[in-house]
Amino acid sequence: RKPDPCAIVLFGATGDLAQRKILPTLAHLIHDHPQPETMCIVAFARRPLGDDGWRSMVLESLDKYMPEDDKLDDEAKQAFAKRLFYCQSNFDEDEGYQRLKQLLEKLDKEQGTGGNRIYYLATPPDTDVEIIQSLGKAGLAQPEQTSQNGSSNGQQEKKSWVHIITEKPFGHDLESAKALNKVIGSVFHEDQIYRIDHYMGKETVQNIVALRFANSIMEPLWNQKYIDHIQIVVAESLGIESRAEYYEHAGAIKDIVQNHVMQILSLTCMEAPADFSPNDIRDEKVKVLRAICTLTPDEVAERTVRGQYTAGTMDGQQVPGYKQEKGVDPNSKTDTFMALKLYIENWRWADVPIYIRTGKRLPKRSTEVMVQFKRVPHQLYSKDEISGMKPNRLILRIQPEEGISLCIGAKKPGAANDLSSIDLDASYKTVFGIELPDAYERLIADCILGDSTLFIRRDEIEESWRIIDSITNAWTKMGPETVYPYAAGTWGPEEANKLIERDGREWVNP
């Protein structure tokens, strides 16, 4: 479908996320856009830059942050710069929003943005409420009820639209998420709200759905009768870089588990939706979260492990520990690693443990879902014969070597009946022969098209915070001594191994 023209108003336009990620993505989007002349980007920001100052700033960022093999040429960059406009204001300044209104109306007339708007909040979370309420107060949150083409000449009347994109973190616990949902819901309708989780824009995350529901061989096995357990790992080799202020309050649980892991988990475990409409898919995803019970303090003590990295070696380089990172409290007890066991209490998943691991400064960057199948009901081969064979495992490699791998047993050639494991492996890049598109580009394009399937609905956010709150509340009572150290470059504290080994299982490292 051809996207409508629109103006994207970027809040936090001079900040790190906008400069590093959002603007390069928009530059690519405009470059690949079928109607490049009809999309404008408006920065709403405090610094006195003006259109020219902002254009120069963005051009510099494009040079700095666009990957070498993905850079736009000068002509494309200049064409992008012409789409950039600046509205100088503080976030709490009523007149600023009136100036924004005038600028947007001018762009409708002069640039043909058609009254369609996206407000993109790439701002620190404590400013969100102020911005949302100010947009409402200025009459900017709802579309003008005018037609674009006019009906007098026989053309069909077309209403303009207004969408809002919010970046994570969406709240810091259930209560704050509910409060934020209430504020945003008092100004925008739910179908105008696009809560981003960039993992949902990754091709390989969407491929979980294709694998499960476009292939008849998966679904009959996808349940507690055949699956022994599931592991989800989101491992990062990076530390916290320059994000101490944010990370100190988030930790691994709020930075990764509450959002990215819960999204991967719900796609992996949901029932088949009736169709691909945004609400059908999200109805199924939220049912998975609802089936995860609030953990009791005893369950939290038994099923979770927190860790924090200490100094160590990564790729032969010495790296500092978390407490030595710039801006981190030297006595910090923030979790940079967590392991967790969850159960989904429904017919499909009864008694199937879902093990989750995530952490910074782990040996490599890798996100995977590993589904381990049960052993055959009756073993014909002797213990010795199968000693070299691993259980059947299906591994969905979300990143970086995107692909899928199935581990099966096979007889080794020769007179003996010895079995071994072989991997049936496919890499998406090799099979399709193209680089996978950027997650943000897909999500912003979907928001322009008005497709919210890959965005997080209000109830999903609240359900995931309910689960996370039960863990963090118990951790607070357990005290800081249960944050175990692990050396950078290792797979987390020993306690995480004990968590899974107690169940007679082991972590499968990517």
Task: Point out which residues bind ligand BG6 (CB under 6 A).
Answer: 236, 255, 367
Give the three-state DSSP class for 409.
strand
Nearest CB to ligand BG6, comparing residues 116 and 367: 367
One-letter identity of residue 246: Y
CB of 314 to ligand BG6, least distance (A): 15
Nearest CB to ligand BG6, comparing residues 5 and 125: 125
Distances (CA, A) of 192 to 161, 188, 283, 372: 8, 6, 17, 39
**Token pair 């405090």: residue:** 46
CB of 203 to ligand BG6, least distance (A): 12
Closest CA to 464 of 275, 298, 257: 257
Closest-approach residue to ligand BG6 (CB) = 255
Q: What residues contact 365, with CB distance under 8 A and at least 6 apart?
A: 235, 236, 237, 238, 399, 400
Distances (CA, A) of 364 to 314, 336, 356: 9, 15, 16
Residue count of the chain = 510
CB of 169 to ligand BG6, least distance (A): 8
Burial class (CB in 10 A: 0-12, 13-18, 19+), 245: exposed
Closest CA to 16 of 52, 50, 65: 65
CB of 307 to ligand BG6, least distance (A): 16
Nearest CB to ligand BG6, comparing residues 25 and 372: 25
CB of 509 to ligand BG6, least distance (A): 17
Report the distance separating Cα 100 and Cα 94, nearest Å: 10
CB of 291 to ligand BG6, least distance (A): 25
**Token pair 């490049």: residue:** 36
Nearest CB to ligand BG6, comparing residues 160 and 367: 367
The arrangement of strands across the sheet holding 117-121 comes to 84-88, 39-45, 6-11, 117-121, 162-166, 193-195
Element of type H or E holding 320? none
CB of 236 to ligand BG6, least distance (A): 5
Nearest CB to ligand BG6, comparing residues 242 and 296: 242
Report the distance separating Cα 84 and Cα 223, nearest Å: 51
Identify whether the C-beta of residue 144 lies closer than 8 Å to the C-beta of residue 160.
yes
Report the distance separating Cα 312 and Cα 321, nearest Å: 7
Structure-token pair, residue 231: 């592991």
* Residues tagged active-site: 260
